[in-house]
């Protein structure tokens, strides 16, 4: 078990006057990035799971149907801080560059042998392959050809799945979910669908280890993905099951996938 105090030590400085701005993600999110990186990278000797992006889910934006309601929290007289109207999404993806060195050593092929396949304009050997093997760069449609030729690895083996839908940057505007009747952190289905659409294909399996209200399962049904959900609280497990079943016209087939007993 990893104790958080053995990983992160925070030093608090007292100041009698003035304020300090630090241009970085908020402290709790920064700690989460560090903690998750340590946990993920220690679970497998080869597959590291590096942090890729810090996405902000902005809930107060001009065309939001909730903007008027949220504006009311800003005009309060007794405020000594900004009201939080955003949540944070941490994006991690597998680094599969270890496969290159493993396969190259197995076949007894040097880096230079592969790098000679693509020379500079002057006909010199460059470090294009070593940059891919060390995880600095990802292979492209051109550089994958000599890699496949010598190592038998394809771009699907090395590059994590990501579909550029050409509609998002790192700040996402979504209204919060209207249906927060039974779970306080329920996410909007459209937000989860956006994540799934960017990173999976139809019939891929999506795992949600903290199923909560079952929003991920509903999104998977809408997008024709397979879904595995885990939830330790019985009432939320039942809530999720009922929401997901509600997306099906014929419930009998799906009901067989739900255990009658709760574990």
Half-sphere exposure of 71 (CA within 13 A, CB side): 8
Contact, 138 vs 102, CB < 8 A?
Answer: no
- Which whole number is the average pLDDT over 191-207? 93
pLDDT per position as a tens digit, 231-247: 999 999 999 998 888 87
- Report the chain's mean pLDDT, rounded to a whole number: 80
Return the minimum-mean-pLDDT range out of 9-18, 138-147, 156-165, 214-223: 9-18
- pLDDT of residue 115 exceeding 50, the answer is yes
Q: HSE-up of 238 (CA within 13 Å, CB side)?
A: 7
Residue 172 bridge partners (DSSP) = 57
Model pLDDT, residue 49: 76
pLDDT at position 71:
87
Q: Is the pLDDT of residue 14 over 60?
A: no
Per-residue confidence band for 196, with pLDDT thresholds at 50, 70 and 90 = very high
Q: What is the 3-state secondary structure (H, E, C) of the chain?
A: CCCHHHHCCCCCCCCCCCCCCCCCCCHHHHHHHHHHHHHHHCCCCCCECCEEEEEEEECCCCCCCCHHHHHCCCCCCCCCCCCCCEEEEEEECCECCHHHHHHHHHHCCCHHHHHCCCCCCCCCCCCHHHHHHCCCCCCCCCCHHHHHHHHCCCHHHHCCCCCCCCCCCCEEECCCCCCCCCCCCCCCHHHHHHHHHHHCCCCCEEEECCCCCCHHHHHHHHHCCEEEECCCCHHHHHHHHHHHHCCCCCHHHHHCCCCCCCC
Higher pLDDT, 165 or 173: 173
User: Would the pLDDT of 16 be above 50?
Assistant: no
Q: What is the spatial distance between Cα 51 and Cα 234, in angstroms, rounded to a whole number? A: 32
Instruction: Name beta bridge partners: 88.
Output: 56
Distance CA 121, CA 143 (A): 15
Is 20 or 256 the better-scoring residue by pLDDT? 256
Q: What is the spatial distance between Cα 261 and Cα 121, in angstroms, rounded to a whole number?
A: 66
Average the pLDDT over each of 48-62, 191-205, 231-245 and give the range with the smallest value. Answer: 48-62
Tokens 């990501």: give the residue: 162
Task: Supply the pLDDT for residue 52.
Answer: 82
The mean pLDDT of 171-177, rounded to a whole number, is 89
Question: Model confidence at 32, in pLDDT bands (50, 70, 90)?
Answer: low
Nearest to 220 by CA among 234, 237, 238, 199: 199
The better pLDDT of the pair 18, 165 is held by 165
Record the pTM: 0.75
Neighbouring residues of 180: CB distance < 8 A, sequence distance ≥ 6: 186
């Amino acid at each position: 078990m990893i104790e958080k105090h053995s990983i992160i030590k925070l030093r608090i400085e007292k100041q009698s006057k003035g304020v300090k701005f630090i241009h970085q993600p908020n402290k709790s999110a920064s700690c989460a990035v560090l903690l998750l990186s340590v946990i993920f990278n220690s679970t497998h000797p080869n597959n590291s799971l590096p942090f890729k992006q810090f996405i902000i889910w902005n809930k107060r934006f001009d065309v939001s149907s909730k903007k008027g309601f949220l504006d009311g929290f800003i005009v309060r007289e007794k405020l000594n801080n900004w009201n939080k109207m955003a949540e944070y999404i941490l994006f991690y993806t597998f680094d599969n560059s270890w496969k290159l060195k493993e396969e190259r050593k197995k076949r007894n092929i040097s880096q230079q042998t592969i790098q000679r396949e693509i020379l500079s304009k002057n006909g010199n050997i460059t470090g294009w392959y070593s940059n891919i093997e060390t995880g600095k760069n990802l292979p492209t449609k051109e550089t994958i050809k000599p890699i496949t030729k010598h190592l038998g690895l394809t771009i699907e083996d090395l590059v994590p799945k990501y579909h550029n839908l050409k509609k998002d940057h790192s700040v996402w505007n979504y209204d919060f979910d209207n249906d927060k009747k039974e779970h306080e952190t329920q996410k909007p289905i459209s937000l989860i669908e956006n994540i799934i659409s960017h990173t999976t294909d139809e019939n891929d399996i999506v795992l949600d280890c903290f199923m909560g209200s079952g929003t991920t399962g509903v999104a998977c049904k809408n997008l024709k993905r397979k879904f595995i959900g885990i939830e330790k609280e019985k009432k939320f497990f039942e809530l999720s099951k009922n929401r997901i079943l509600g997306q099906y016209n014929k419930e009998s087939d799906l009901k067989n996938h739900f255990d009658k007993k709760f574990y």
